[in-house]
Structure formats: C-alpha cells, structure tokens
Structure 1
Amino acid sequence: MVTSSNELNTTKNNLFDCLYKDDYTKVYFIQEKNILVCEALQDYIPIEDFKKVFNFITLNFSLFDKVEKFLFDKQSLRVFHQPSMEWYFVFWKKEMYQKYNLVNHVKILPQNIPWFEASVKAGRAQIEEKYKDLVVDKLNIEYVNSIDELLS
C-alpha cells in the first residue's frame, strides 16, 4: 500500500495493487485499462474520511500514466449521505475536470437496494437545482453492475 505521494512516485509504471486504504475506502489503479478505482469498504463513509480519500486522489492524480476512467464502487454503501454527494458532485468533479480533464466517471451502486438509486437521483436533482455552474453536462457518467462488466 502506498501511503505518501513520494512512495507513489517511486512505484509509478508498476501494476498497482493498492494505492490508498483506510477503514472506509480503498483506491487502486487497473493499469491495463487505465481505470482508477475508489471502492467503498463500509456501509457508511463519514464526510471527513470521504473528503480525505478524494483529496488524496486529486493530489496524486497526475502521477498515474493516463487515467481514462474513474470508477467509484459504492456497492458496500447502505447509507446515502447528501452532503458527501453534494461535495463530490459540485466541487470534486469540477476540480478534476478543470485540472485533469477527467470526463469519464463510472459508478457501481449497491445492488438490490432501489431506495439508494432513488436517493442518488433525487440528490442529483437537488444539486442541479441549487448549483448552476456544474460541469455535469461535460462529463460521461456511466453506471455498471460490477467491475467485471466494466472490464469486459
């Protein structure tokens, strides 16, 4: 596991197994497909830990060879937290688009939990109503059921 940007820089061009891991998330890079993955490990991620992992991704993004897609695997989540989604959607995605031209986002939602998907849709509608300078119209956002589906 890489715990600092110096360590990350020294391992550049290797096949990454795990770049970052805490109690709530794991970040890894699938080099053959140029996909950066953030995987939720718990049913809930406190907002400060949520911001911490995404700030890690932002700070280290330029060290990867070429990220073509960013996958947020939310399968373990059982709690929908609107303030986290708002920060991720409004600030993080905008920063990643402006700094790194990250346009391809892929999501895996929890399976067989229809209320979670409904919460995501309702939350996104609220965000789009509240904020007018979003970059969402410039992004490709795709939903898949598994990493295997994305890789095939």
Structure 2
Amino acid sequence: MVTRTRLDDSPCPVARSVDAIGDWWSLLIVRDAFDGSRRFGEFQRSLGVAKNILTARLRTLVAGGVLESVPASDGSAYREYVLTAKGRALFPVVVALRQWGEEYFFGPDEPHSRLVDREQGCGLRPLEVRAADGRLVGPDDTTVRKVSPG
C-alpha cells in the first residue's frame, strides 16, 4: 500500500487545502452537501461510492471541520452531515470547478446540470479574480511571495 504524503504542515495554502479536501470523493461529497444531501445513504446513492470509502471520507471531512455530524432533523436515530462555516466557505471553489468544467468538458449542445440563482432562476456570472483595487487579474498579473516566520 502506498503511504499518503501529508501536506498539512506545508507553507503553501494550496497544498494545505488539497490535503484537507483534495480527494475527488471529498469534493463530490461537499458538492452533494451544497445540493442538499445530509444522510449517508443520500451521499452513497448520489455518488455510487463504496460504503467504506464514503465512511472514511466523511470522517476526514468531519475531523477537518468541513462537515459536522448532527442528530437527524426528523428525530430518528440517524446522523446527518451538515456543512460548517468552513465547509460553506468552499462554495466559490465548487462553483469555480463547475464553471471550469462547463467551459472545457462539454460540447455546445451537450446537456449538463446548471447552477442557478434560486431567486431569479438564472445562471451565475463567471467567477473573476480581482486585485484589491478591483482590477481583473490573471496568472500573468500575480506572483507568490514567500512569507518568513516572525
């Protein structure tokens, strides 16, 4: 078995984020949580993932503070998984992946799901990255600065 490399002490925010939620099952669980899934069975039906894999990913997401396990809302003995504030903060990440996928992985007439504004029923504008002064910026307009301790 291959030992997983831990990135939770990396100085790179991208590496630490990938360490926390970079597994594709985990991102799909988060996507389904945004879509309203709350129970183990709902996640399993939607994803078609093996129970042991789903159990492990849910545990990791709960341990990482992305999801919280709470008593079932209907008062039954079941547990439900709800997004925490940390998990809800992943919304722009999920939207960015969705928009990237729509742009590059579907033909012009190929059907796919769409994320729409609940109030207006229309699609969302593409996400943009902007500088502090409001300018639109891309990869050539940015650089990574290493921060020294202290």
Q: TM-score, normalised by structure 1?
A: 0.28
Task: Answer 1 or 2: higher relative contact order, Cα 8 Å, separation at least 6.
Answer: 1
- Higher share of residues assigned helix: 1
- Higher share of residues assigned strand: 1
Q: TM-score, normalised by structure 2?
A: 0.29
Bigger-Rg structure (1/2)? 2
